[in-house]
Every structure is written in structure tokens, then in C-alpha cells.
Amino acid sequence: MTVLADGVVVTGSAGFIGRALVRTLLDAGTRVVGIDRLPQPAHPCLTVLTADLLDDDERVRAALRSAAAVFHLAGCSGVRDRGPDVALRRRRDNPLATAALLRAVPLRTPVVVTSSSSVYGGAHGVPADPQPCVETDPVRPRGGYARSKVEVERICAARLRDGGTVAVARPFTAAGEGQRPDMALARWIADAREGRPLRILGSPDRVRDVTDVRDVVRALIALAEREVRGTINVGTGVGHTLAEMVDAVAGVLGVDVRTLVVPASPEEVPATLADTARLRRAVGFVPVTDLCDVVARQTAAALSANEPALEVA
Ligand SMILES: NC(=O)c1ccc[n+]([C@@H]2O[C@H](COP(=O)([O-])OP(=O)(O)OC[C@H]3O[C@@H](n4cnc5c(N)ncnc54)[C@H](O)[C@@H]3O)[C@@H](O)[C@H]2O)c1
């Protein structure tokens, strides 16, 4: 099967990774049905379905029935969401929406579902020497977001047992154009532009496996094309300290920045790091992140979109 020649469904297509995935698929000449409850820009090869996955919507059911492959990215994202009803929204948009989606997709259709590296509860070892998380490690979710993704994975595991083709991708901190405004690099770029101090949660020595969103998208497409089954880390295997990430922002913007270290909540794990052996076997490559390049692209996109800088909470 060649996903890029067929019609595919992308859920969460108005989101950060979803938009990048749709753009890549459209650039490759693929017809896409994008399902999101938020609006999306029009394109001749994109059928936009503005709908909630939990609505009883025949257009959504028909699209899912006939898709050559389904990329399920819709979800309540973000570990530090403190918004109202967050527990309800996480349950609704993560396990419940995934279960509803899978019921509507024929068992033979390849499905790629985004879980999260947060199910690991952080890398092993100390932040100065973190040890990569392997897909076979027991999950240790910290916080409601991670727990909701563990639920999503359980639903996918049941589908696999039933003979379905499901790849459960565990992305590690995607970065690049259009990053969600609640994520660290996006916040720091906005703060640095406005001359505000960059708030660092916990410690500048915390470590993140940062993955270029273009590579996340490339990996998701390869997982669908190769009809991969099972759980796969989507990360680089290389950690960056928060201090390095702050330096990249300051360097790209050419400004001096002030930082403010504030206490981190328990779900903010000291380090994340992917073991990439299974990813290499599954898709034939391991992403390499050029932090300065990613930050430069993300900054340029934010400037050109004239995205408003955020207020510091
Ligand atoms: N961005 C990252 O670094 C990262 C890391 C790990 C996992 N993930 C996961 O990858 C996926 C995509 O992440 P993102 O950063 O693009 O998130 P995002 O919040 O930018 O996009 C999610 C999209 O899903 C839509 N959505 C949510 N529930 C829906 C529903 N019930 N019906 C229709 N649309 C719905 C939202 O409107 C939003 O546009 C999410 O599941 C997220 O948890 C992301």
C-alpha cells in the first residue's frame, strides 16, 4: 500500500502536528480528509470536516469507513493544562474519542494513533545521565494527561489483539512551525520577543528529547505506509537541557534573555529520552534534531504569522 497515493483521514488536522502532517501529505499529492472541531484552511485536495469525533456525524463515519489509512492525532494535549474541566476533557478527547474512532474504522485499515512519551513518567537515571525509555518498559504515568494516554494505548492494544493494524506512536516533544503556545519553546520565543523573563519550570538542567515536527510527520507517514503494528517511540535519542533550549532562543532572536526558575509540578519529569532502536527498524530512520534550525524556523513562522505574544501567567 502507498498511503501517499490514496485518500487518508487525519484527525486533529487543525492542531500543531496535524497541520504539518496535512501539509506534507497535500504537498505529496495525497487527497486528505481533515477532521477537527476547529476550522482549517481550505485546499483543493483537502476535504475539511469540522466536527467532533464524539458527534454522531455521518460524514465522519463515511470518511473513516473508506479511508486508505487513518492518522488519529485529535486529543486533549498537554501535561500542564489546568483549564476548567480538564479531567473531563482528557477522558472525552483521549480514550473516549479514540474508542469511537476505532469503532468506525474497518479492522483492515491501517491506523496510526498518537499516544505520548509522557506515559513513561520520565527517563531513568539522573538528569545529568538519563537513560532512554524503551517501548517494553512498564508505563509510569504521572498526572492526568499521561494516564489518559495510557488508556488510549489500552484501547489500541485491544484492537491489535483483534487483528487490527495499529501503530501507537509515542512522540517526544515536537518542535517547529506552529508549535502549541503552551509548549516551552513557543512560550520562550513569545517572552523573549516581548522582553519578558523566560520562565523555566524546575531547573535549567532538565532534559528534553526534542523532535523536529517534520521528522515526527515523516515517521507517522512511514508507520502508515509500512502498516506497522505496535508501540513506537518517535524521538531522537538525544537530550537537550532546558538551558540549551533557552540559549537557542536567545541566539536565534539575537537578544539577551533573563530567566526565572519557578517550581515545577510533579508531572514535569526531570528528563525525557527515547530509545530509537524500534523506530529505526520500523521506519528505516532516526530523526536528528538541529535545535537552532528548528527554533529559527519556529521563530520565523511565529513572526510571519504575527502570533501575539502570550501573557506570563
Ligand atoms: N506536540 C507534542 O510534542 C506531542 C507530544 C506527545 C504527544 N502528542 C500528541 O499528539 C497529538 C497531536 O498533538 P498536537 O501538539 O498537534 O496537539 P494540538 O492540541 O495542537 O491538536 C489536537 C487537535 O485535536 C482536536 N481535537 C481534540 N479533540 C477532538 C475531538 N473530540 N474531535 C475533533 N477534534 C478534536 C483539537 O481541536 C486540536 O486541533 C495529540 O494527541 C497529543 O497528545 C503531542
Which domain CATH number covers 144?
3.40.50.720
Residue type, 25: L
Residues 154-174, mean pLDDT to the nearest whole number: 98
Environment class of residue 204 by beta-carbon count within 10 Å: exposed (0-12), middle (13-18) or buried (19+)?
middle
Burial 82-94 (b: 16+ CB within 10 A, else e): eeeebeebbbbbb
Q: Give Cα 203 to chain centroid, integer Å.
A: 23
Given pLDDT bands bounded at 50, 70 and 90, which one contains residue 311? very low
Lowest mean pLDDT among 20-24, 84-88, 226-230: 84-88
143 in ligand 1 pocket by Cβ < 6 Å?
no
Measuring CA to CA, how many Å separate 21 from each of 9, 252, 265, 270, 285?
11, 25, 31, 29, 18
97 in ligand 1 pocket by Cβ < 6 Å?
yes
Domain membership flag for residue 29: yes
Give the helix/strand (H/E) hosting 198.
Answer: strand 198-201
Q: What is the residue range of 217's domain?
A: 3-178+211-236+273-288
Which pLDDT value is given to residue 128? Answer: 84
Give the helix/strand (H/E) hosting 260.
Answer: strand 259-262
146 in ligand 1 pocket by Cβ < 6 Å?
no
Looking at the DSSP bridge assignments, the partners of residue 34 are: 10, 48
Q: Residues with catalytic annotation? A: 145
Contact between 232 and 172 under an 8 Å Cβ cutoff? The reply is no
Model pTM?
0.96
Residues 138-150, mean pLDDT to the nearest whole number: 97
Q: Which atom of ligand 1 is nearest to the CA of 174?
A: 3
237 CA from centroid of ligand 1 (Å) = 23
Give the helix/strand (H/E) hosting 47.
Answer: strand 46-50
30 in ligand 1 pocket by Cβ < 6 Å?
no
Residues 29-50, mean pLDDT to the nearest whole number: 96
**CA–CA separation, 239 and 117 (whole Å):** 13
Which pLDDT value is given to residue 71? Answer: 98
Domain membership flag for residue 172: yes
Given pLDDT bands bounded at 50, 70 and 90, which one contains residue 4? low
Domain membership flag for residue 145: yes
Domain membership flag for residue 201: no
Ligand 1: which residue has its CA nearest to atom 43? 77
Domain membership flag for residue 125: yes
Which pLDDT value is given to residue 41? Answer: 92
What is the separation, in whole angstroms, between the first and last Cα of the chain?
48
Domain membership flag for residue 127: yes
117 CA from centroid of ligand 1 (Å) = 14
Contact between 164 and 107 under an 8 Å Cβ cutoff? The reply is yes
Cell matching residue 103: 469503532
217 in ligand 1 pocket by Cβ < 6 Å?
no
Top mutation candidate among 22, 59, 73, 212 for ligand 1, by most atoms within 8 Å of CB: 73
116 CA from centroid of ligand 1 (Å) = 11
Is pLDDT above 80 for 307?
no
Q: Total domain count for the chain? A: 1
Domain membership flag for residue 241: no
Each residue of 231-249: pLDDT tens digit? 999 999 999 999 999 999 9
Ligand 1: which residue has its CA nearest to atom 9? 114
Top mutation candidate among 17, 23, 72, 118 for ligand 1, by most atoms within 8 Å of CB: 17
255 CA from centroid of ligand 1 (Å) = 32
171 in ligand 1 pocket by Cβ < 6 Å?
yes
Contact between 146 and 80 under an 8 Å Cβ cutoff? The reply is no
Contact between 245 and 222 under an 8 Å Cβ cutoff? The reply is no
269 in ligand 1 pocket by Cβ < 6 Å?
no
Domain membership flag for residue 302: no
16 in ligand 1 pocket by Cβ < 6 Å?
yes
